[in-house]
Amino acid sequence: MADPTDKMENIINLCKRRGFVFPSSDIYGGFNGFFDYGPLGVELKNNIKQAWWQDFVHRRDDIVGLDSSIIHHPTTWKASGHIENFTDPLVDCKESKMRYRADQLFFAPVRVAGETIGYISVLEDETMSAKAEEMANEMKRKLAKQGALEPLTLKDYTEAKPEEHALIPSPATGKPGSLTPPRSFNMMFQTYVGAMQDASATAYLRPETAQGIFINFKNVVDTGRVKLPFGIAQIGKAFRNEINPRNFIFRSREFEQMEIEYFIAPSADWQTAHQGWIEGCLAWFESIGIPRAKLSLYPHPTEKLAHYSKGTTDIMFEFPFGVQELQGVAARGDFDLTQHSDVSGTKLDWFDEAAKARFIPHVIEPSVGVDRVFLALLTTAYHEDEVEGEKRIVLRLPARVAPFKAAVFPLLKNKPALVERAEALYRRLKKRLNVFYDESGNIGRRYRRQDEIGTPFGITIDFDTIEKDAGVTVRNRDTLEQVRMTEDEVVRFLDEQVNG
């Protein structure tokens, strides 16, 4: 299974076939950029969120939680800079009516022996350089030009000079002259609040959960408990009208974020705090089953920083479709609290008892998409191998995040003594953990069905269990090893595997 496209196809098929992720509004032909999480998907997603909340909120003394509304007072987005700056550069093809993100559309002049003979354009992907080379050679051949093709320098469309817009071919038609100059497109979804549908009633679906945290800074500080440095964490939906949603749930229009705003004193060394959060996030990814070898860091060049950022490093993950952002860790300075203080007229500051001084704290923001963690886990866990001469698909998900922690099987379904004992164990385990019961088909098939959805342990009740009181067998999904344990030991064993 070397081809990464095949791997993504296989994962998308598995997601639909076994109820992890469905295209949204499937019966109406789907709705681009939206997805629905099925019975197994919602379990995996909830487990990711629960692990994050446990590790960053419950197990720490310096971070508290929040669940703000999705729609804020519209002025929030004016103060935060989103109305003005939360834009992507958009380019239209007037002929095909296709729309592209200008920074994902690449072009190059084709030069042969010092002469420009035309332009080529390609859409950003792993193979774009090879495609561009092929197109340039084809152009040279068609125009029967002699001489060496000069190396191509691909640039994105935002870098095109105005006189080049008419020369660059549309990726849809292959012909020049139909692409518009790039223009800014605001990615926030608008809605109306109340009965009037006019400009005064316009509101926005939040494009990030972060602003809900900043506008609640004073509420959280005033209600006690926190001492600088401290963080406020929030998990929730975010909405972006992405021009080009793609790569399954990687870039969608409705997704979930897990964000922390970690407030520090202005005098604190923000670079050290920033680096500490980067390392902490890398360690967390590893702890939930995303290998360090698939993670890398991308510090943003200063000239490409977002309007609020003093420094941002993305934690990148090696997805089957390329190395892409999994998480952003930004140092936002005091930008947001200052803006909201100025625009609202409410002081969002901190009183330092020791120094008897007031100041606006600075902030470090680790922000990660639940859906991207979901996809990183699935693409890491997905394997195809062979067991007892049969091909199997196996999701090697760690027990902490796996939808079901174990499946309980009576060896045979037509032996009431086996079934009764298996059902009793299933009921007992279900009080503590999400477990599955299955009595249909041969035992090998039942194992295989669970392997495919990532259930780490298969517990079988056989004749030795009931006749010799010899305990049950516990089969490990990854090593295939089977060990016997008493039912009490199974309860303790699973608890340890899931909760550590």
Q: Which residues bind ligand GAP (CB under 6 A)?
A: 208, 210, 240, 242, 251-252, 255, 257, 259, 325-328, 365, 367-369, 371-372
Nearer to ligand GAP, 254 or 349 (CB): 254
Q: Give 335 or 447: the residue with its C-beta nearer to ligand GAP.
A: 335
SS (H, E, C) 245-269: CECCCCECCEEEEEEEEEEECCCCC
CB closer to ligand GAP, 43 vs 371: 371
Coil/strand/helix, residue 39:
helix
Which residue, among 136, 154, 146, has the nearest Cα to 113 in the 3D structure? 146
Tokens of 79: 């103060």
Indicate the residue among 309 and 434 with the shorter CB distance to ligand GAP: 309
Q: Are 15 and 27 in contact (CB under 8 A)?
A: no
Nearer to ligand GAP, 259 or 349 (CB): 259
CB of 164 vs ligand GAP, minimal distance in Å = 29
Cβ distance to ligand GAP smaller for residue 15 or 132? 15
CB of 82 to ligand GAP, least distance (A): 10
CB of 103 to ligand GAP, least distance (A): 14
Residue among 54, 63, 56 nearest 498 (CA): 54
Nearer residue to ligand GAP within complex by CB, 243 or 393: 243
| Residue 136 CB, nearest approach to ligand GAP (Å) | 33
Residues 424, 251: Cα–Cα separation, whole Å: 44
Give the integer Cα–Cα distance in Å for 187 and 317.
Answer: 24
- Could you tell me the sign of the dihedral formed by the alpha carbons of 441, 446, 448, 450, in that order? positive
Least Å from the CB of residue 261 to ligand GAP:
9
Tell me the backbone φ, ψ of residue 13, rounded to 5 degrees. -65, -45
* CA-based radius of gyration for the chain: 27
In the complex, minimum distance from the CB of residue 270 to ligand GAP, in angstroms, rounded to a whole number: 16
Instruction: Tell me the closest approach of the beta carbon of residue 320 to ligand GAP, in angstroms.
Output: 16
Q: Which is nearer to ligand GAP, 145 or 300 (CB)?
A: 300
Please report which residue ranges of 226-369 form alpha helices under DSSP H.
270-287, 335-344
Backbone angles phi, psi at 79, to 5 degrees: -65, -40
Residue nearest to ligand GAP (CB): 369
Structure tokens at 91: 């380019």
Q: How far is the CB of 269 from ligand GAP (least distance, A)?
A: 22
Cβ-contact 79, 343 below 8 angstroms:
yes
